[in-house]
Amino acid sequence: MSATATGETSKQTDTGRLTGLDGPAVLDFTQGWDYAPAPESAPAPIADSYGHFINGAFVDPIEGERFDTVSPSTEETLSSIANGSEADVAAAVAAAGEAQPTWAALPGKERAKYIFRIARRLQERAREFAVLETMDGGKPIKESRDVDIPLAAAHFFYHAGWADKLQYAFAGRTPKPVGVCGQIIPWNFPLMMAAWKLAPALACGNTCVLKPAETTPLTALRLGEIFQEIGLPPGVVNIVTGDGRAGAALVNHKDVNKIAFTGSTDVGKRIAKATAATDKTLTLELGGKSANIIFEDASIDQAVEGIIQGIYFNQGHVCCAGSRLFVQESIAEQVIAKLKIRMGSLRVGDPMDKNTDVGAINSRQQLDTIVKYLDKGRKEAPEFWESNGSPLPERGYWCRPSFFSGVQPSHTIAREEIFGPVLAVMTFRTPDEALSRANNTPYGLAAGVWTDKGSKIFEMARGLDAGVVWLNSYNKFDPASPFGGFKESGFGREGGLQGLRAYVKI
């Protein structure tokens, strides 16, 4: 950080940071501070091309189809990726089927050792993984470094602990593995989603076929390298890259016993239909339109941080994003004024810079979706405000953090998941009104409540139709804490004891 003026007689500079010509220097926090560039420099070599990871080895796609994975912040091609066909999926499922009885027969403490080694190796290579995640997905390096990779490792550590204690997790019962698990994950938290799905499955004696999202395959494939390094038996985890066709082939494969899916509600519904008349078990973690509710007795500055964290974290590509903000009418003006100031300090741009707060939108397609919602919102809502700080890079997919205020519950931007850095601000007068407006959505994934009254906290948490309710905080995750939704946000839980349940038959 570089400040330009010092001393008691300094006056306001061009950027207005320091005032106090006739008295002691006063820092003016309403103006921007300049940051020196702080690019992450850790090496994360990327091969020109990658195959699928099947039966412990990287193999070429059977039908030879490939696609490119592109950096959303530079639009450069990073690597050529195998495009999974039905035949590739069949090979992966066969490998998983063959490996499953031996893996399940291992004593729990032996399975735990493998899972523990995965966690350790992830920690040792954390910086490389963070760089790769940011290059492939566009999220700020400080988020990959401080959230995605540590949480992924934490999930493997946590579930390593359960592998030899399953009889205590389900006391009085004899938990058996489900078999072969097909796991389909999205692009917003690529490595973390892989860990959320693989770690409990492995702990319970299942084997897996993982299908990463088309735009973010690189960290899952690097995880394949870790499986080789730690000597995970071949076939226990298989990774088939590709688009929705590979996902659908996995869902429809007769030898897959369980499907775990995270992604859009539309695709989730299609998967629910496809598995309905089969003996496959299913868990769905789908979209959301989560409410972040600020009461007049809340600590306002803390709540404003919670709003920022809730909607602008990971460019708003978060299923549980606090995308509907409900502010008590008496403090609405104050909250909006403070929000604007805070948003003015958000740095949008090069995700490899350690000071960047908001990185690139994950893909051209997602940017187009967000722009469509912005256009619609401008027609619906009376007020629109976007942060307008640093200039955006010339190449790449960018969207400035913004909010609409005066939003009505019937507006499209208040009802549909935008999956971008766009907030819909609404007001309420009473706790009952806040509850009924917050619950007025087909989704039920998460919510945030900000107040200093304990009784109000419990009252609200009880009344909210949401799988997770954060109190005076937002976006807090822990492997021991179950995560998942109600209504169109899906069913089943990931994390904690509840998350293990989906991976055992009892």
Catalytic residue ranges? 285, 319
163 binds ligand NDP (CB under 6 A): no
Q: 261 or 428, CB closer to ligand NDP?
A: 261
Residues 350, 417, 488, 494: which binds ligand NDP (CB under 6 A)? Answer: 417
The reply to whether 474 sits near ligand NDP by the rule CB under 6 A is no
Identify which of residues 184 and 203 has a Cβ nearer to ligand NDP in the complex. 184
Q: CA torsion, points 111, 113, 119, 125, in degrees to nearest 10? A: -120
Contacts of 264 (CB under 8 A, 6+ apart): 186, 286, 287, 417
Check binding of 244 to ligand NDP (CB under 6 A).
yes
Tokens for 447, please give them: 């919510």
Contacts of ligand NDP in 5-64 (CB under 6 A): none
First to last CA, the chain: 57
Measured from the CB atom, is 44 or 286 closer to ligand NDP? 286
In the bound state with ligand NDP, the residue whose beta carbon lies nearer, of 40 and 285, is 285
Residue of this chain nearest to ligand NDP (CB atom): 247
Distance CA 434, CA 256 (A): 43
- Considering CB under 6 A, how many residues would be counted as binding ligand NDP? 26
- Which residue lies nearer to ligand NDP by CB, 404 or 419? 419
Of how many residues is the chain composed?
506
The one segment of 199-207, 226-234, 256-264, 432-440 that binds ligand NDP by CB under 6 A: 256-264
Q: Give every CB contact of residue 337 below 8 A, 6+ residues apart in sequence.
A: none
Give whichever of 248 and 374 is closer to ligand NDP, judged by the CB atom. 248
Residue from 262, 328, 356, 405 in contact with ligand NDP (CB under 6 A): 262
194 touching ligand NDP, by CB under 6 A = no
CA 482 to the chain's CA centroid: 15
335 φ, ψ (degrees, to nearest 5): -65, -45
What Å distances lie between residue 429 and 75, 330, 426, 498, 506, CA to CA?
A: 46, 8, 11, 36, 48
- Please choose, out of 60-68, 158-166, 241-249, 326-334, the segment that lies near ligand NDP by the rule CB under 6 A: 241-249
Could you tell me the smallest distance in angstroms from the CB atom of residue 418 to ligand NDP?
A: 7
- Compute CA distances 67 → 48, 70, 186, 194, 472, whole Å: 12, 10, 17, 21, 44
Smallest separation, CB 139 to ligand NDP (Å): 13
188 part of the interface to ligand NDP, by CB under 6 A: yes
Alpha-carbon span 47 to 58, nearest angstrom: 12
Question: 45-74: b or e for each residue (b if 16 or more CB lie within 10 Å)?
Answer: ebeeebbbbbbbebbebbeeebeebbbbbb
| Contact range with ligand NDP by CB under 6 A, out of 73-81, 171-179, 265-273, 385-393 | 265-273
Map residue 469 onto helix, strand or coil.
Answer: strand
125 backbone φψ class: left, alpha, beta (φ>0; ψ -120 to 50): alpha
The yes or no reply on residue 247 touching ligand NDP (CB under 6 A) is yes
CA distance 55 to 472: 46
Residue 212 CB, shortest distance to ligand NDP, in Å, is: 6
Is 264 among the residues that bind ligand NDP (CB under 6 A)?
A: yes
Q: Which of residues 211-240 bind ligand NDP (CB under 6 A)?
A: 211, 213-214
Rounded (to 5) percent helix, strand, coil in the chain: 40, 20, 40
Tell me which amino acid residue 272 is: A
Q: Per CB under 6 A, does 93 bind ligand NDP?
A: no
Give residue 8's Cα distance to chain centre.
Answer: 47
Q: Encoding tokens for residue 102?
A: 């031996």
Task: Report the nearest approach of ligand NDP to the CB of residue 193 (Å).
Answer: 8
Nearer to ligand NDP, 239 or 248 (CB): 248
Q: Where in 342-371 is the site for ligand NDP (CB under 6 A)?
A: 366, 369
* CB of residue 142 to ligand NDP, shortest distance in Å: 21
Residue with smaller CB distance to ligand NDP, 149 or 184: 184
| Residues contributing to the site for ligand NDP (CB under 6 A) | 184-188, 211, 213-214, 243-244, 247-248, 251, 262-264, 267, 270-271, 286-287, 319, 366, 369, 417, 419
